[in-house]
Amino acid sequence: MGKFIVGLFLLVVLYLAMRPELMPGHALPVQNGVLRETPRMAGGMCSAERCLTVYLAPWCPSCRRAEPMVAQLREVLTREGRPVTVVMGMDEPAALEAHARDLGYPVLLDVDGRVERDAGIRGVPYFIVTDRQGRIVSRQAGAYDAVEPNRRALGI
């Protein structure tokens, strides 16, 4: 009986360890150039084989250096039918909105830090690739200067 319980316990631990990590989904306000749009989802299920979520912060020098590459990566992946969501967080609401406006494309604002906290983001810039079920396929902290090295590192 004792071996059975130990075996069952090990199976449960193994199941929990092998269970895929899901990207939490949150509806966030969108800053699109000058206007604020209806909230959109960050994370959750993906409408394509792979989706990319990029997390940035206005005060982050590495994020600022990566922004031109993120814009190029966003264009390339969008043309290929791979959705890209850029989330701006870790700062005051006014700073988030001002910086998002400057980027010139839709940016989701994580004012409350929900995506950051629930996705386990500890630093920025941060990239998360998910599949159709919202399972996290790859993560990357930091960014390369060019699009292709980031694509290779992320497998997207």
pLDDT digits (tens, 9 = 90+) for 22-65: 887 877 878 876 666 667 778 778 889 999 999 999 999 999 99
Domain spans, the chain? 21-154
Of the two residues 112 and 1, the one the predictor is more confident about is: 112
Please check the confidence at residue 4 and state whether its pLDDT lies above 60: no
Bridge partners of residue 86, in order along the sequence: 54
**Cα–Cα dist 24/91, whole Å:** 20
Beta bridge partners of 54: 86, 127
Q: Is the predicted pLDDT of residue 19 greater than 50, yes or no?
A: no
Nearest Cα residue to 22 out of 61, 51, 2, 59 = 51
* In the predicted structure, residue 17 carries a pLDDT above the cut 80: no
pLDDT digits (tens, 9 = 90+) for 91-117: 999 999 999 999 989 999 999 899 999
Architecture category of domain 21-154 in CATH: 3-Layer(aba) Sandwich (3.40)
The answer to whether 82 and 154 are in contact (CB under 8 A) is: no
- CA-CA distance, 59 to 20, in Å (whole number)? 32
